[in-house]
Structure 1
């Protein structure tokens, strides 16, 4: 305290050790051989319980880049970036997105996929889950779309049915030369789960993001990690 009674913060001495920098979480680096995983996909689908087709990041990025319609591009971005069911994405409102100064994300109402848009009753009764959105490009797309659309707080931002979304995705795939398996909005949900597991995220956390009632529903995606196990047998001599 100075002579005039004003309290000053303590002065740091010149050779005091600096405070260690704050680190939120360890940096994770994963090197993924995408071409190999794409080549092995048919084995996953033929030999495991994972009967639903899935896409891998390079394929999803090509589809996203080819979609020039702003609304349909954002829907696909959110399907891929949140793992939400198409009914959950179609139920989004401006109030669904949260930015609190520490992060940006979206609250999804956990809805089973059904015909058309979700009803008000199903929206009211469904549980919620929070999905962080760390991708700055997706954050910018969401915020720009909300700003340009001038939506009311509780107005649905995507006024279309599930069948419309799937039709536009199918048309896009056809324009891109087709695919060896059907691709729908739900394909992006499977792809999201597999993408997280390939990057080493805990199964329990992936299950929570997916809105699964049981972790067993999420475990099926781990087949993508185990089907390509030839490297385990290298060096094992049988003759």
Structure 2
């Protein structure tokens, strides 16, 4: 009998490497999708036997034949570069010049304060609070879903976003009008925690290796989700844990609320974040402050909102008027 264990399969190696480097589960799923797509595109050939020319052909196919967005093409390229650099540990070779998917310049859809209030009036319970925080604190939908009890500072009226886009932490505004609802969510989190402790101690998911360093952290109130999932789930490491509410559920509720509010143009969860930025700028808030509150790496990203403000930006009026 052969006692030697088989070497791990390629996709198992990809997942293991992503987890060692602490990539998010969402990124893991995305990278695995594009790596499988790349392999299938070249007839199930092993990537170790391919190189720059095959990557070039794949990226050309995405742009020319599938007409993917620029961000999608870049995502596929990042996944393949990760595969060669960190998993196969072999040089990718020269990819050469390939057709770049066009990145259209589009202005974000924003709502007036009155329109946002109409949308919020169509929501209730946790969905209302999450939408209010996306507008009142400039949160992304994933950031709202991932809020924990310890991220809230009532005295300072500060909300901390941990491991946001780019794995960066930042602080932003805690709207006073949301405080009572958040306190109710914390009370509900305590009650839910008590019930879980009585029925088998199902912990919440924790970042990175924190559950190994502090085994009981997932059973403390500070680490509980403000917006937990309705039932526990299995994570890739074989544990049963309580995760936060899924972003798709929030996105669906907000889209339905926007339709019910009879808005003149369609919107999404991100529209609420866009509206947060434009409202602050129209009221004279310094653009650098808005940049920090949004968590933008570059002020150029924040400047896009100055183009949708029209005559309301910094009190500027048309010379014709």
Instruction: Select which of 162, 167, 171 maps to 1:126.
Output: 167
Indicate the residue corresponding to 2:247 in structure 1.
Answer: 162
Indicate the residue corresponding to 1:53 in structure 2.
Answer: 109
Matched-pair contact (CA < 8 Å) for 2:107–2:308: no
C-alpha change, 1:205 and 1:163, in structure 2 (3 Å) is: same
Indicate the residue corresponding to 2:164 in structure 1.
Answer: 111
Provide the rounded CA distance (Å) in 2 between the counterparts of 1:228 and 1:186.
Answer: 21
SS of the residue 1:232 aligns to? coil
C-alpha change, 1:231 and 1:206, in structure 2 (3 Å) is: closer
Matched-pair contact (CA < 8 Å) for 1:50–1:220: no
Greater fraction of residues in helix: 2
Once the two structures are superposed, residues 20-76 of structure 1 have per-residue CA deviations (whole angstroms, 9 ceiling, x without a partner) of xxxxxxxxxxxxxxxxxxxxxxxxxxxx955221111000011112213x1100110
Once the 2 structures are TM-superposed, how far is the Cα of residue 126 of structure 1 from its aligned partner? 1.9
CA RMSD of aligned residues (A): 2.4
Structure 1 gaps of 5+ residues are 1-47, 113-124
Structure 2 gaps of 5+ residues are 1-103, 194-220, 230-244
Provide the rounded CA distance (Å) in 2 between the counterparts of 1:94 and 1:211.
Answer: 21
Does 1:86 pair with 2:167? no
Matches within 5 A, 1:135-214: 135-150=175-190, 152-158=221-227, 159=229, 160-177=245-262, 179-214=263-298
Matched-pair contact (CA < 8 Å) for 2:129–2:181: yes
C-alpha change, 1:50 and 1:199, in structure 2 (3 Å) is: farther
Indicate the residue corresponding to 2:209 in structure 1.
Answer: none
C-alpha change, 1:141 and 1:205, in structure 2 (3 Å) is: same
Does 1:67 pair with 2:123? yes
Provide the rounded CA distance (Å) in 1 between the counterparts of 2:158 and 2:106.
Answer: 29
Provide the rounded CA distance (Å) in 2 between the counterparts of 1:224 and 1:170.
Answer: 22
Provide the rounded CA distance (Å) in 1 between the counterparts of 2:117 and 2:318.
Answer: 31
Does 1:232 pair with 2:301? no
TM-score w.r.t. structure 2 length? 0.49
